[in-house]
Amino acid sequence: MATEVLMPALSPTMEEGTLAKWLVKEGDAVKSGQILAEIETDKATMEFEAVDEGIIGKLLIAEGTAGVKVNTPIAVLVEDGESVSDTPAPKVAEAVMAAAEAPASVSAQAAAPAPAPVVAAKGWPHADLPEGPTKTMTVREALREAMAEEMRRDPNVFLMGEEVGEYQGAYKISQGLLDEFGAKRVVDTPITEHGFAGIAVGASWGGLRPIVEFMTFNFAMQAIDHIINSAAKTLYMSGGQMGSPMVFRGPNGAAARVGAQHSQDYAAWYAAIPGLKVCMPYSAADAKGLLKAAIRDPNPVIFLENEILYGRSFEVPTDPDFTIPFGKASVMREGTDVTLVSFGIGVAHALASAEELAKDGISAEVINLRTLRPIDYDTVLASVQKTNRCVTVEEGFPVGSIGDHLASTIMQRAFDYLDAPVITCTGKDVPMPYAANLEKFALITPAEITAAVKSVCYR
Amino acid sequence: MAAKKPAERPNASKDELLKYYREMLLIRRFEEKAGQLYGMGLIGGFCHLYIGQEAVVVGLEAAAKEGDKRVTSYRDHGHMLACGMDPKGVMAELTGRIGGYSKGKGGSMHMFSKEKHFYGGHGIVGAQVPLGAGLAFADKYLGNDNVTFTYFGDGAANQGQVYETYNMAQLWNLPVIFVIENNGYAMGTSVKRSTKSPSLWERGAAYGIKGEAVDGMDVLAVKAAGEKAVAACRAGEGPYILEMMTYRYRGHSMSDPAKYRTREEVEKMRSEKDAIEHVRDLLLQGGLASDDDLKAIDKEIKAQVNESAEFSKDSPEPPVEELWTDIYA
């Protein structure tokens, strides 16, 4: 009985991958546990092992094929004496091969041709870029390029964190940096967030510009005393004598089915602290421009990334001096009926909702805040004065959310312009569940945003 | 503790001894004055006095060179005076005035001096330990031979981040000297009641860090141990731990009734082990200074401390605009 070998999901966020290399050929007998192929995920190149014994009847996907969806049949395993023709026709495979011809959107090596059409087709607009040439890159590549450029520019910038060096980054953000800058400037730490965050703050006082990578911001809970009490407050407590020029960065918020302790959005927590600056990029251009600005900034900057966005592609200006100033929101889509304010991955949901709303004749303006401290109140207020309605969108918990703060600001500064209460769309007030269906309910969705907009538009 | 030592032949010059005498006396008189100003309501909040522990910072500063850094906890006035910060600026910070080192915005527990390489003044017990290792990380990265004195108490010695830091400091060979000021009590909890470890410095052995216990009431012993640690550290041998056996005469803070120890215990330390009396004896019995010489110094110090107190009262409160400055660089 022939068995289909399926493209495996090898990371929580992997939806597709590159079949980098076959290590077996048709006709080979394979044993359980034998390595069949190398598969490049959104995080790393992984070895893929056989589960069942058998003979490779047919390889359905050629090596080097990118964009192979998870669960696509990639090979057929037959039993001794069985011929490949006995196997059911791999009708899925043809569709897959067609899809695989689309350029890679996840390949960190960027060997694939520029996937510009994919970007457009996926509907991630980027209307906010400055004039000048751009190139397409993933958020992951943009973050890496920002760090590499700033490390070339200033010898006192260094990166430290768990697995940033020899492992090449838990999420491949720091891939290649160890080779270029050496172990002095790309420092692998033990698993000791409290300690290395403190060391990094001390190093910033000693004249360096540390970039601290947290494998996720969930782990930064162990280090939050140093982030707040040591980094954020020292400039004030020293009467301006010494500050902490440094960046704390890493993925924040939910990834995919990693459970309650690995899925929390800390945007509102850090945005509450005077002395910190807080960035939350959405696009690759945001990621690059904001991270470069963060590294150059003389203050401690919290840089909240998103694991799901790492693999998404956007246009990014090629100008090496492209930076994005803090406190300057970007209007991603202009509209007249309602203002959607979001940041990070929430922008993707807001844009998707705006697209839906347009079909119903509702014109939504979408604002990407980009930084949460400082917040660009002026852009939000100007938009609300135009649209008279506002819905905020974020992944974090509802109590004390960024949306709450914006709603109160709008109420205090633009009350007379409002035609409806501000609705805050947030993640649900529950620890993140693991079950796939419950996780979906816990997170914010475009449908919820659409419903909120219809409610404030009295539709 | 051992009984009062007989006058020994000092292994330090007259000038050195006079310097230590003067520096320790400045700290003690300054702290006494701070206590007095606290009682008068001129100093608010928490105020942790260093009286009794003077030999630790004075002895270690004698082993330091320009460029070396220091960072400590909230019991920090002595460290600031010992590294040469101006008593006027320290006292004015205690009274919350614009003439203070932090323009009145830091207070007793949060003072800094970039000029004197003093990096605070930290109120979260143990937090200064990785911060100090980070300063040493920067010096190593920048390729100079500075060392960082990272002070913490016997109480902080039970914080997890201390051991996270030991591990990385040794792993990365950082030029940091961990100075455990073991004054016997973490607030009101004696060392005996908080740990079964026979000694605190020996915990460094688990990480391969060298260290030793030192009589922290003897400024010459402190200096000698400091020189040894500094030499090893500067030579690139990595971190070093000095556990200073010391004693604070006053309560944990001004509001501490100190019911956890007997009056006799404190009196015994004062009469038998006092660091200032020790140097005074060396000077007098060694024929290096006369009673009048020392009285003149006492008078000078008293005047200096009074001047700092006057300054701290005369310096205005920070203007309201200061509320909104120094939040961002």
Q: pLDDT for A127-143, tens place per residue?
A: 568 888 999 999 999 99
* Cα B51 from Cα B78, distance rounded (Å): 8
Q: Could you report the per-residue pLDDT of A207-261, keeping only the tens digit for each? A: 999 999 999 999 999 999 999 999 999 999 999 999 999 999 999 999 988 999 9
Question: What are A314's strand-pairing partners?
Answer: A137
Contacts of B117 (CB under 8 A, 6+ apart): B67, B68, B69, B70, B83
Mean pLDDT for A381-403 is 98
CB-count exposure of residue A166 (10 Å: 0-12, 13-18, 19+): exposed
Look-up of token digits 């004075």? B58
Mean pLDDT for B316-320 is 98
First CA to last CA across chain A, in angstroms?
A: 57
User: What is the dihedral angle through the alpha carbons of A344, A348, A349, A352, rounded to the nearest 10 degrees?
Assistant: 160
User: What is the dihedral angle through the alpha carbons of B225, B230, B236, B240, rounded to the nearest 10 degrees?
Assistant: 50
Mean pLDDT for A264-291 is 98
- At B9 the pLDDT is 57
Beta carbon pairs, A and B, within 8 Å? 151
B255, two tokens: 């509001």
* Cα B18 from Cα A266, distance rounded (Å): 56
Check A126, A226, A262, A349 and give the catalytic one. Answer: A262
- In three-state secondary structure terms, B162 is helix
Question: Where is average pLDDT lowest: A42-46, B119-123, B263-267?
Answer: A42-46
Q: Report the percentage of chain B scoring pLDDT > 90.
A: 93
Question: For residue A88, what pLDDT band results from cuts at 50, 70 and 90?
Answer: low
- At A12 the pLDDT is 79
Q: Could you report the per-residue pLDDT of B3-18, keeping only the tens digit for each? A: 455 455 567 999 999 9
Question: For residue A177, what pLDDT band results from cuts at 50, 70 and 90?
Answer: very high
* Cα B96 from Cα B37, distance rounded (Å): 12
* Rg of chain B taking only CA atoms, in angstroms: 19
Which runs of E-coded beta strand occur in chain B? 69-72, 118-121, 148-153, 176-182, 185-186, 189-190, 210-215, 240-245
- At A108 the pLDDT is 38
A451, two tokens: 């419903």
Q: Quick check: B112 and A277 CB within 8 A? A: no
Q: Could you report the per-residue pLDDT of A37-77, keeping only the tens digit for each? A: 999 887 778 889 888 889 999 999 999 999 999 999 999 99
Question: Which residue among A203, A229, A235 sits closest to B137, beta carbon to beta carbon?
Answer: A203
B130 contacts chain A (CB < 8 A): yes
* Cα A235 from Cα B112, distance rounded (Å): 10
Judge whether residue A113 has pLDDT over 50: no
Q: Could you report the per-residue pLDDT of A342-364, keeping only the tens digit for each? A: 999 999 999 999 999 999 999 99
Sheet holding A45-49, edge to edge: A45-49, A35-40, A16-22, A65-69
Contact A311/A106 with Cβ under 8 angstroms? yes
Please provide residue B25's backbone torsions phi and psi, each rounded to the nearest 5 degrees: -65, -40
Q: Could you report the per-residue pLDDT of B42-68, keeping only the tens digit for each? A: 999 999 999 999 999 999 999 999 999
Give the distance from residue A160's alpha carbon to the nearest chain B alpha carbon, in angstroms: 12
Judge whether residue B288 has pLDDT over 90: yes
Q: Does this complex have an ipTM over 0.90?
A: yes
Look-up of token digits 């492209």? A322
Question: Which residue among B132, B142, B167 sits closest to A202, beta carbon to beta carbon?
Answer: B132
Distances (CA, A) of B37 to A90, B34, B44: 88, 5, 9
3-state SS, one letter per residue, for B235-279? CCCCCEEEEEECCCCCCCCCCCCCCCCCHHHHHHHHHHHCHHHHH
Contact B111/B80 with Cβ under 8 angstroms? yes
Question: Which residue among B113, B134, B328 sits closest to A198, beta carbon to beta carbon?
Answer: B134
Query: Is beta strand A157-161 parallel, antiparallel or unpaired with respect to A186-188?
Result: parallel
Same fold, A3-100 and A126-317: no
Mean pLDDT for B97-116 is 97
Distances (CA, A) of B271 to A36, A162, A392, B249, B265: 80, 52, 69, 11, 10
Q: Report the percentage of chain B scoring pLDDT > 70.
A: 97
- At A407 the pLDDT is 98
Contact A199/B172 with Cβ under 8 angstroms? no
Sign of the four-CA dihedral B191, B197, B199, B205: negative
Architecture field, domain A330-456: 3-Layer(aba) Sandwich (3.40)
Residues of chain B with Cβ-Cβ distance to A158 below 8 Å are: 141
Contact A218/A261 with Cβ under 8 angstroms? yes
Mean pLDDT for A77-85 is 78
CB-count exposure of residue A171 (10 Å: 0-12, 13-18, 19+): buried
Contact B44/B323 with Cβ under 8 angstroms? no
User: What is the dihedral angle through the alpha carbons of A261, A262, A266, A270, rounded to the nearest 10 degrees?
Assistant: 80
First CA to last CA across chain B, in angstroms?
A: 49
| Residue A262 falls in the annotated catalytic set | yes
Judge whether residue B260 has pLDDT over 60: yes
B133 contacts chain A (CB < 8 A): yes
CATH number for the domain whose boundaries are A3-100 = 2.40.50.100
Contact B224/B10 with Cβ under 8 angstroms? no
Give the distance from residue B307's alpha carbon to the nearest chain A alpha carbon, in angstroms: 23
Q: DSSP class of residue B203?
A: G
CB-count exposure of residue A117 (10 Å: 0-12, 13-18, 19+): exposed
User: What is the dihedral angle through the alpha carbons of B170, B172, B173, B179, rounded to the nearest 10 degrees?
Assistant: -50
Contact A343/A369 with Cβ under 8 angstroms? yes
**Average pLDDT score over chain A:** 90
Q: Which amino acid would we find at residue A28?
A: D
Strand (E) or helix (H) holding A99: helix A91-100
In chain A, where the domains are located:
3-100, 126-317, 330-456
* Cα A341 from Cα A449, distance rounded (Å): 11
Look-up of token digits 């109140």? A377
Question: Where is average pLDDT lowest: A70-84, A376-390, A431-445, B278-292?
Answer: A70-84
- In three-state secondary structure terms, B122 is coil
B198 cis-preceded (ω within 30 degrees of 0)? no
Q: Quick check: A205 and B119 CB within 8 A? A: yes
**Average pLDDT score over chain B:** 95
More confident residue, A418 or A43: A418
Question: Which residue among A189, A203, A298 sits closest to B138, beta carbon to beta carbon?
Answer: A203
DSSP for A373-396, please give it: ES--HHHHHHHHHHHS-EEEE-SS
Q: DSSP class of residue A264?
A: B
Question: For residue B197, what pLDDT band results from cuts at 50, 70 and 90?
Answer: confident
Architecture field, domain A126-317: 3-Layer(aba) Sandwich (3.40)
- At A50 the pLDDT is 87
Check A16, A149, A193, A305 and give the catalytic one. Answer: A193
Mean pLDDT for B216-229 is 97
Give the distance from residue A210's alpha carbon to the nearest chain B alpha carbon, in angstroms: 10
Q: Which amino acid would we find at residue B329?
A: A
Q: Quick check: A198 and B133 CB within 8 A? A: yes
- At A45 the pLDDT is 82
Please provide residue A76's backbone torsions phi and psi, each rounded to the nearest 5 degrees: -120, 130
Counts for chain B of helices (H) and strands (E), in that order: 11, 8
Counts for chain A of helices (H) and strands (E), in that order: 14, 22
B308 contacts chain A (CB < 8 A): no
Query: Is beta strand A45-49 parallel, antiparallel or unpaired with respect to A35-40?
Result: antiparallel
- At A128 the pLDDT is 67
Query: Is beta strand A364-368 parallel, antiparallel or unpaired with respect to A338-342?
Result: parallel
Judge whether residue A182 has pLDDT over 50: yes
Q: Which amino acid would we find at residue B75?
A: R
Instruction: Classify each residue of A337-367 as buried b or exposed e, where b means 16 or more C-beta atoms within 10 Å of its C-beta.
Output: bbbbbbbbbbbbbbbbbbbbbeeeebebbbb
Judge whether residue A437 has pLDDT over 90: yes
- At A332 the pLDDT is 95
Contact B205/B243 with Cβ under 8 angstroms? no
Judge whether residue A201 has pLDDT over 80: yes
Q: Report the percentage of chain A scoring pLDDT > 70.
A: 90
Homologous superfamily of B15-309: Thiamin diphosphate (ThDP)-binding fold, Pyr/PP domains (3.40.50.970)
- In three-state secondary structure terms, B173 is coil
Q: Quick check: A240 and B132 CB within 8 A? A: no
